């Protein structure tokens, strides 16, 4: 279980230095040394295929993350992997849904059309890397537990997200 | 006001434990939790930017120019994410970051590397997402208030950076 951060004290002259207050410093040091981050890494899974033109889960069995955050630090959301599309010039879009409600691209229930990441199939079936990193400023999300799900859609053809013998990773953390 | 890091105290036996010294610990903890950096994010509320320049020019200074106070004691990370297109297939778009209006991130001098820190050759009409991330070691960029602006250039014709309602973009610069 992650140690959670508490706002550092503002000390006043002649206040008692208690073990609780010193422990709070130690706890914060531990949090800074290992801030909250959840990471899913796959290389031996099953490839995922998609033909939906509206957002669907990328791989809910593996990539759905639940993480407790302090809300006091910025969040970094990262998705890395490899895709291809069977149709020349077809587009693949990626976004991340927060708390089963809002898209990270817009912070509303309606994502921006191009999502967080848009990839074109310059050549049909050629592999294209995805290297998506998006920051969420401190205070944007309230302290507590939040869920994060990568979402995917296509404009045409079939997009494959490679998990079998390809490296992929989804992570969220402060 | 931004909290800045101060060098931790070397305590001596029988030193007085004062509120000031304890608050310095608190300030440093807070700095480590939220080191100084800036983030400019467009969530489809801007205007598309274009360039036909063969030398680096501002990408969108009204949006992406970031002023960040650095301690000079931590590494500095830069990242840029967004969607581009080009009017002529086979043309390249290059990106760099201008520091204080004088120094390019790619070279850390007043003369950028020809291809900046990131370059992409595009088929005509395609709109892929581009992303780069660069880390500068601690001590390379001096402490103080610094200005960071993404710049771009193209090898031919016109490149477009998307900020309209369909697109997300983000520029980040600062200590981490």
Full pLDDT tens readout for chain A, 174 residues: 555 899 999 999 999 999 999 999 999 999 999 999 999 999 998 999 999 999 999 999 999 999 999 999 999 999 999 999 999 999 999 999 999 999 999 999 999 999 999 999 989 999 999 999 999 999 999 999 999 999 999 999 999 999 999 999 999 999
What are all long-range contacts of B54-57, with beta carbons under 8 Å and residues at least 24 apart? B54/B153, B54/B154, B54/B155, B55/B153, B56/B94, B56/B96, B56/B98, B56/B104, B56/B112, B56/B116, B56/B151, B56/B152, B56/B153, B57/B151, B57/B152, B57/B153
The pair of structure tokens assigned to B25 is 């610990």
Under an 8 A CB cutoff, do B34 and A135 touch?
Answer: no
DSSP state of B116: B
The pair of structure tokens assigned to B151 is 């710049």
Confidence of residue B2 (pLDDT cuts 50, 70, 90): low
At A87 the pLDDT is 97
Using CA atoms, how far apart are residues A158 and A53, in angstroms rounded to an integer? 10
Name, in order, each residue with C-beta under 8 angstroms of A81's C-beta and a sequence gap of 6 or more.
A129, A130, A161, A162, A163, A166, A167, A168, A169
Above 90 in pLDDT, residue B125? no
So what's the ipTM on this one?
0.90
* A residues 13-52 lying closer than 8 A (beta carbon) to B: 13-15, 17, 25, 28-29, 31-32
The pair of structure tokens assigned to A130 is 């995805």
Chosen for mutation from B9, B22, B23 (greatest number of chain A CBs closer than 10 Å) is B22
Confidence of residue B123 (pLDDT cuts 50, 70, 90): confident
B33-86 confidence digits (pLDDT tens): 999 999 999 998 889 999 999 999 999 999 999 999 999 999 999 999 999 999
pTM strictly above 0.95: no
Q: Which residue has the tokens 């500095």?
A: B76
Using CA atoms, how far apart are residues A55 and A152, in angstroms rounded to an integer? 5
DSSP state of B151: E
At B1 the pLDDT is 44
Single out the residue of B135, B156, B133, B1 nearest to residue B86, CA to CA.
B156
Mean pLDDT of B13-32: 95
The pair of structure tokens assigned to B167 is 């697109």
Mean pLDDT of B23-38: 95
Name, in order, each residue with C-beta under 8 angstroms of A159's C-beta and a sequence gap of 6 or more.
A49, A50, A51, A83, A84, A85, A86, A90, A92, A152
Work out the minimum CA distance from A13 to partner chain B, whole angstroms.
5
Using a CB–CB cutoff of 8 Å, tell me whether B131 touches chain A: yes
Beta strands B144-154 and B66-70 are: antiparallel
Using CA atoms, how far apart are residues B21 and B28, in angstroms rounded to an integer? 11
Query: By CA distance, what is A17's nearest residue in B?
Result: B17
């Amino acid at each position: 279980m992650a140690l959670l951060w508490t706002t550092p004290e503002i000390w006043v002259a002649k206040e008692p230095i208690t073990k609780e207050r010193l422990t709070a410093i130690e706890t914060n040091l531990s949090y800074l040394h290992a801030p909250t981050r959840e990471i899913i890494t796959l290389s031996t899974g099953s490839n995922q295929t998609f033909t939906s033109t509206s957002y669907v889960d990328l791989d809910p069995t593996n990539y759905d993350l639940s993480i407790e955050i302090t809300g006091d630090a910025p969040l970094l959301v990262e998705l890395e992997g490899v895709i291809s599309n069977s149709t020349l010039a077809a587009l693949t879009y990626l976004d991340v849904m927060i708390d089963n409600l809002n898209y990270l691209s817009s912070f509303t229930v309606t994502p921006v059309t191009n999502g967080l990441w848009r990839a074109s199939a310059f050549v049909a079936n050629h592999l294209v890397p995805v290297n998506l990193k998006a920051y969420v400023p401190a205070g944007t999300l309230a302290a507590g537990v939040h869920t994060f799900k990568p979402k995917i859609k296509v404009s045409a053809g079939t997009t494959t997200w490679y998990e079998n013998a390809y490296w992929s990773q989804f992570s969220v953390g402060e | 006001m931004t909290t800045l890091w101060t060098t931790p105290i070397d305590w001596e036996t029988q030193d007085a434990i004062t509120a000031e010294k304890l608050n310095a610990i608190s300030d440093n903890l807070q700095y480590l939790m939220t080191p100084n950096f800036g983030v400019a994010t467009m969530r489809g509320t801007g205007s598309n930017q274009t360039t036909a320049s063969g030398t680096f020019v501002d990408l969108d200074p009204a949006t992406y120019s970031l002023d960040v106070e650095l301690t000079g004691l931590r590494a500095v990370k830069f990242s840029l994410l967004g969607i581009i297109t080009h009017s002529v297939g086979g043309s390249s778009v290059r990106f760099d970051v201008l520091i204080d209006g004088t120094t390019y991130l790619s070279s850390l001098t007043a003369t950028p590397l020809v291809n900046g820190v990131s370059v992409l050759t595009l088929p005509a009409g395609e709109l892929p997402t581009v992303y780069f991330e660069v880390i500068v070691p601690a001590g390379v960029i001096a402490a103080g208030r610094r200005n960071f602006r993404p710049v771009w250039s193209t090898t031919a014709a016109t490149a477009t950076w998307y900020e309209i309602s369909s697109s997300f973009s983000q520029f980040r610069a600062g200590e981490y």
